[in-house]
Amino acid sequence: MLTFLPDSSVVSTVTPSPNYGERKGVLSPDMIVLHYTGMSDAASAIVRLCTAGTEVSAHYVVLEDGNIVQCVREADRAWHAGASSWAGETDVNSRSIGIEIVNRGHDLGYPEFPLRQIAAVIALCKGIVIRRNIAQHRIVGHSDVAPSRKKDPGEKFPWRLLADSGVGLWVEPEPIVGGEQTMLGASGEDVLALQQGLASFGYGVPLNGQYDATTMDVVVAFQRRFRPERIDGIADASTLTTLHRLLALMPQDAALAS
């Protein structure tokens, strides 16, 4: 791929990736998906994202020092989300802009995200939101759209700080207390109500009233992002109340569409 002009003024370098295609069925992206690279260093991650045959890419890579590399034009479809879904849509790559944040990830020690790196992520996302008119509830993590496969950007990612800066949704998690808990193997109307709430927010979850492995994976993904103090896949009062508070922030038409 020939080089191109960056879409964002905060981009430091353009390193074109050959791994991209045309967006399918949409004129413009309406989601942002945040990832971590999960590799030992930034150079290795960029090589992988920009090497033909790896079948992976992202629009942007945010380095630990706050520098930003663009690899795919926003108008094109990068290959970052894989098998995924959000709000009933299964071609997340066509609908989204993918941002890789350099971090070794869970398998390699999972360090904290430097503040200068998060500041760069915020600046990049705010520009995309303005240019593409992206709704706040459609700024998500890789684990949100692929909860059975992915953990990134993970429980250390400061979603609260992003939201305080005008990027994405956040509510203060309900404190963890005792009380009723719904967990793997349960069934009934309470489970169905939980599934309906998660689906209304956007998660791909079956609406079968069975607290199966897929439902547990989605609860884990939800907790990893919104209630990281305890990530156990158990739908306790803290998890449910936090979910309901988030649903109250959703645009009414978005909740109905889900």
Q: Which two tokens stand for residue 227?
A: 């209630």
Residue 89: DSSP 8-state: B
Q: Which two tokens stand for residue 15?
A: 């390193």
Cα(144)–Cα(149) distance, rounded to whole angstroms?
10
Cα(200)–Cα(181) distance, rounded to whole angstroms?
21
Dihedrals phi, psi of 109, to nearest 5 degrees: 100, -20
In the set 89, 100, 155, 174, the catalytic residue is 100
At 163, is the secondary structure helix, strand, or coil? helix
Query: Helices (H), strands (E): how many in the chain?
Result: 9, 8
Tokens 């894989």 sit on residue: 82
Dihedrals phi, psi of 97, to nearest 5 degrees: -110, 125
Q: Compute how many other C-beta atoms are within 10 angstroms of the C-beta atom of residue 89.
A: 18
Cα(138)–Cα(159) distance, rounded to whole angstroms?
13
Contact 82, 94 (CB under 8 A): no
Contact 110, 157 (CB under 8 A): no
| Of residues 152, 150, 69, 64, the one with CA closest to residue 113 | 64
Can 229 be counted among the known catalytic residues? no
Helix, strand, coil shares of the chain as percentages rounded to 5? 35, 15, 50
Q: Which residues are catalytic?
A: 100
